[in-house]
Amino acid sequence: MRRLLALWREGKLTTGQVRSAADVLGVRERAVWRWLAAAERDEAAARAPGERAAYPGRFTVTDEVRALLGLWKGNVAAVHRELTARAARGEGESPPSIPTLHRAIRRDLTPGERAGLVGGERAARKHDVFLARPRGWRNQAWETDHMQAPVLVDVDGTARRPWITWFTDCATNAITGFAVTPVHPSRESVLAALRSAVLREDLYGPFGGLPEKVRVDRGKDFLSRTVTAAFDLLDVTVEDLPAYTPHLKGTVEGLNRAVESMFLAALPGYARQPRPGKRPSRPKDEVLLSFEDFTARLLDWTRWWNTEHHPAPLRGRTPLQAWQDDPTPLRDVPAADLWTFTLEDAGTRTLTTRGIRYRKRDYVGPWMTGHAGIQVRIRFMPHHDHRIEVYHAATGRYLGPADLADQATEEQVSAVRKTRAARARRLKKDLEASRRERYAAATQAEPPRRLGALTTAQAEAELAQTAESDLAQLALPDVIPHAAPPADWRTPPSLASLTTPARPAPLPPGRDSAPAVPDGPAGQAAPSTTDEYGDA
């Protein structure tokens, strides 16, 4: 702009140059001529072409306007009404017009601030600028995360959205391993995914080995005692990222977005597919993938990602090529040792003739013959309560697995689960019915009025049913009368009639024998000069 202004002042500016500048700036030609005229009058206008010059009394966004924008979620018209109402009450000056208020907000607030006032911190973060980490070398840093796949999968006859636990290498964008669970993941899925990521087998290609560090979010399963102990044994540093900072693990977050748009959106049962009509509804004849088929397809897509896909940060290379071009040595762990390191420790037990007692259940194995009486250490995979791994307590030598004794069959387990589910549904229905209350619709300010009428007979019947279920009301304290108090106690006649005269209660320790007191009628104590409650 200053170059055009200098040419204009020298009289060398042509119409073609102005037209070219307008095309570059995306404005009309007359706007450029107007900016030049404004810059001739005020040199500050050349620094910000098109911006209105500041003048005394120009409306600016104040803290009050910011607070109202946050209260009304960026609704400028609502903010204007609020300012007008406050001015009518004498609580401030009259606001400017709505267009002026719009211009002030666009001028004084950044796009990130405006988005944050409307949608919160997450919306404001979309307008931030983040630095990119150096690529580094393979296995320098991994990132891990859980992702709930937006795909319905058939799991034992129930439609569920499975969860995926990733481990990805930041230098090569390779997926080193993953684990899929039909329900919400736990530390067991983290350990399973970690084993698949560390082992360099044909299932995931040559990717694997031990990383130098792993970036995790603040998930309790990633920071559980078992997972952190496994990372310590494997000499892997865990970098716990602050909350609400997904940009600090952008590699795995980008993978979460890529897998949905590149793979999951084309699967049957995709939950975010647009549907015709006002409400999203799924076709009744839609056939969902089984859990096994979904896992197999995800594994095929992972192979494609690692061997054929060309991510933009790798500049035309696949993750496999980037991995093979990196000469960094790898740290491998034997499969047996890795399995041991990723098990949870349950302490020591004594091997008896009935096996190993753990969690009130017996575990046995064929290798236990002749070993009864030794001390063993138990390690197990979380939530896999059908089997434990047994090690010698003194030497740490692996002895073998032990399976649950008298384990129920699959049919029995299925029947028990169906019974539990039916009972839970019935209980949930009863609780919802007891908590469901309806109120009358109000057209004016009045207290809420409950709806639902009962007859006197219905109320008495329900109260009687409740009383029969109360064990305290079913108690009969008079069936076995209380023992008679000591003779020297002043017992009111109304209470003495409820005691057993034939079995007087023993005297307290250290109390001498009571003097003989003549008995009244029916075994009662003789009348005294005290009143019913023992007061003189």
Interval 24-28 mean pLDDT:
79
pLDDT at 479: 67
CA distance 38 to 32: 10
Q: What is the per-residue pLDDT across 321-349, written as a single tens digit (0 to 9) for each?
A: 999 999 999 999 888 888 888 888 888 99
User: How confident is residue 523, by pLDDT bands cut at 50, 70 and 90?
Assistant: very low
pLDDT greater than 90 at residue 162:
yes
CA distance 533 to 536: 9
Interval 248-275 mean pLDDT:
90
Q: What is the per-residue pLDDT across 464-488, written as a single tens digit (0 to 9) for each?
A: 776 655 555 666 666 666 777 787 8
The answer to whether 361 and 404 are in contact (CB under 8 A) is yes
Kindly report the average pLDDT of the chain as a whole number.
82
Name residues whose C-beta falls within 8 Å of residue 435's C-beta, 6 or more positions apart in sequence: none
Q: Of the spans 26-30, 65-69, 130-134, 383-387, which averages the highest pLDDT?
A: 65-69
pLDDT at 514: 46
User: How confident is residue 47, by pLDDT bands cut at 50, 70 and 90?
Assistant: low
Interval 21-48 mean pLDDT:
75
Q: Which helix (H) or strand (E) is 484 found in, with range?
A: strand 482-484
The answer to whether 358 and 388 are in contact (CB under 8 A) is yes
pLDDT greater than 50 at residue 268:
yes
Interval 181-186 mean pLDDT:
90
- Name the least confident of 13-17, 319-323, 366-370: 13-17
User: How confident is residue 532, by pLDDT bands cut at 50, 70 and 90?
Assistant: very low
H helices of 270-399, where? 291-307, 319-325, 335-341
CA distance 341 to 229: 8
CA distance 192 to 359: 23
- Name the least confident of 59-73, 84-98, 216-230, 277-291: 277-291
Q: What is the DSSP secondary structure assignment for residue 151, as one 8-state letter?
A: B
CA distance 401 to 413: 22
- Name the least confident of 144-153, 200-209, 234-243, 307-316: 200-209
The answer to whether 322 and 315 are in contact (CB under 8 A) is no
The answer to whether 503 and 483 are in contact (CB under 8 A) is yes
pLDDT at 515: 46
Name residues whose C-beta falls within 8 Å of residue 245's C-beta, 6 or more positions apart in sequence: none
pLDDT greater than 90 at residue 237:
yes
Q: Of the spans 2-16, 20-34, 88-102, which averages the highest pLDDT?
A: 88-102
What spatial distance separates the first Cα and last Cα of the chain, rounded to whole Å?
Answer: 111
Q: Is 0.85 topped by the overall pTM?
A: no
pLDDT greater than 80 at residue 225:
yes
pLDDT at 496: 72
H helices of 327-377, where? 335-341
Q: What percent of the chain has pLDDT over 90?
A: 35
pLDDT greater than 80 at residue 43:
no
pLDDT at 218: 82
pLDDT at 533: 40
Q: Which helix (H) or strand (E) is 358 found in, with range?
A: strand 356-358
CA distance 282 to 150: 14
Q: What is the per-residue pLDDT across 88-126, written as a single tens digit (0 to 9) for each?
A: 998 888 899 999 999 999 988 999 999 999 988 888 888
The gap from C-alpha 180 to its chain's centroid, in whole angstroms, comes to: 17
pLDDT greater than 60 at residue 504:
no
CA distance 214 to 342: 16
Query: Beta strand 163-169 with 141-148: parallel, antiparallel or unpaired?
Result: antiparallel
User: Across the strands, what pairs with 29?
Assistant: none
Q: Which two tokens stand for residue 399?
A: 């002895």
pLDDT greater than 50 at residue 395:
yes
User: Across the strands, what pairs with 237?
Assistant: 213
322: exposed, middle or buried (C-beta count within 10 Å: 0-12, 13-18, 19+)?
Answer: buried
Name residues whose C-beta falls within 8 Å of residue 239's C-beta, 6 or more positions apart in sequence: 141, 213, 214, 215, 216
